[in-house]
């Protein structure tokens, strides 16, 4: 499954909750704001916590960040949250409505997913306001990273020809024609809504779902039918090559990577320090 949609209906470390146990009991407070066992249970599928202790710490961190953000005058709107969710959906080739359906089909709470999204947006806004303006990345840092990590800049390029349709019947007909021996060009001309020339792209720039398919294909091979939120596709691989990316091609990506690393380091250090000045309590379950 796509990385943002790897949800678990009930996290493994909650399986042991005994039948009849009160799951709305308070397990922690942040400045007198309670976190309940029910909150943890509903939020757990959206975090990457390895155990309940880590999950509780992550949720406490998010409560702290929200508290600091509000005190600093950072305003969060419904539009901010919706935009975050739409971006997640887009990264998974889904619409926002389809993402909501995926979540609810797995027995999860979309309201708690929106709460998780809210925490993420607060975190981004705090980072952008407090730390981003203070971080500088110079050219030498970028060059050093490029020279010290040569394997990162040896990438595959592929040339792809694509048949794209809006409905299942057309893509099924197109596939039948290909299987009967018709040329890809003629089938594309007849059925595809996009008749543009084949495209040369870096494999790493393609979404993860397609990467996995294309990596296994040989030059000249035609893919099975691929369904996405935008329609239906058949892909033909025309060429594959490994190339060394020049410094000028990747320096902006390296700058962004180094920026994000420094941003996360400063943010984590700040968060650990700020927590010591806040009224945070946790309570044993027994």
Tens digits of residue pLDDT in 229-249: 778 999 999 999 988 889 998
Instruction: Please report which confidence band the pLDDT of residue 21 belongs to, taking 50, 70 and 90 as the band edges.
Output: low
Above pLDDT 70, what percent of the chain? 91
236: its two tokens:
């033909």
| Bridge partners of residue 240, in order along the sequence | 158
Q: What is the pLDDT of residue 94?
A: 87
Q: Please give the mean pLDDT across all residues of the chain.
A: 89
Nearest to 225 by CA among 183, 160, 164: 164
Tens digits of residue pLDDT in 92-101: 888 999 999 9
CATH for the stretch 3-134+271-282: 1.10.4030.10
Residue 8, pLDDT above cutoff 80: no
Q: How far apart are CA 2 and CA 208, in angstroms?
A: 8
CA distances 57 to 28, 64, 79, 114, 210, Å, are 10, 10, 28, 19, 36
Q: What is the pLDDT of residue 3?
A: 45
Q: What is the pLDDT of residue 91?
A: 85
pTM exceeds cut of 0.85:
no
Helix or strand holding residue 165 (H, E): strand 154-165
Residue 203, pLDDT above cutoff 90: no
Above pLDDT 90, what percent of the chain? 72
Question: What is the SS3 assignment for 91-115?
Answer: HCCCCHHHHHHHHHHCCCCHHHHHH
- Structurally, at CATH architecture level, domain 151-244 sits in Roll (3.10)
Domains of the chain by residue range: 3-134+271-282, 151-244
Helix or strand holding residue 157 (H, E): strand 154-165
Q: What is the pLDDT of residue 226?
A: 93
Residue 271, pLDDT above cutoff 90: yes
Tens digits of residue pLDDT in 95-124: 999 999 999 999 999 999 999 999 999 999
Tens digits of residue pLDDT in 58-91: 999 999 999 999 999 999 999 999 999 999 999 8
């Amino acid at each position: 499954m796509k990385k943002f949609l790897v949800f678990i209906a009930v996290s493994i470390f909650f399986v042991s909750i005994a039948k009849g146990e009160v799951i709305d009991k308070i397990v922690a407070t942040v400045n007198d704001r309670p976190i309940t066992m029910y909150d943890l249970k509903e939020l757990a599928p959206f975090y990457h916590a390895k155990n309940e202790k880590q999950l509780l710490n992550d949720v406490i961190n998010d409560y702290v960040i929200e508290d600091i953000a509000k005190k600093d005058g950072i305003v969060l709107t419904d539009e901010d949250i919706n935009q975050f969710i739409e971006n997640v959906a887009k990264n998974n080739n889904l619409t926002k409505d389809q993402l909501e359906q995926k979540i609810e089909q797995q027995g999860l709470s979309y309201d708690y997913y929106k709460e998780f999204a809210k925490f993420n947006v607060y975190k981004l806004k705090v980072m952008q306001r407090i730390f981003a303006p203070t971080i500088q990345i110079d050219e030498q840092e970028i060059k050093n990273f490029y020279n010290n990590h040569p394997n990162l800049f040896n990438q595959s390029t592929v040339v792809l020809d694509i048949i794209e349709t809006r409905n299942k019947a057309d893509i099924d007909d197109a596939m039948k024609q290909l299987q009967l021996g018709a040329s890809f060009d003629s089938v594309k001309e007849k059925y595809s809504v996009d008749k543009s020339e084949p495209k040369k792209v870096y494999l790493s720039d393609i979404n993860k779902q397609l990467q996995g398919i294309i990596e296994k294909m040989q030059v000249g091979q035609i893919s099975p039918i691929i369904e996405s939120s935008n329609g239906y596709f058949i892909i033909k691989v025309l060429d594959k090559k490994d190339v060394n990316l020049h410094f000028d091609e990747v320096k902006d990506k390296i700058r962004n990577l180094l920026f994000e690393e420094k941003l996360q380091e400063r943010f984590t250090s700040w968060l650990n320090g700020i927590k010591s000045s806040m009224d945070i309590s946790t309570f044993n379950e027994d």
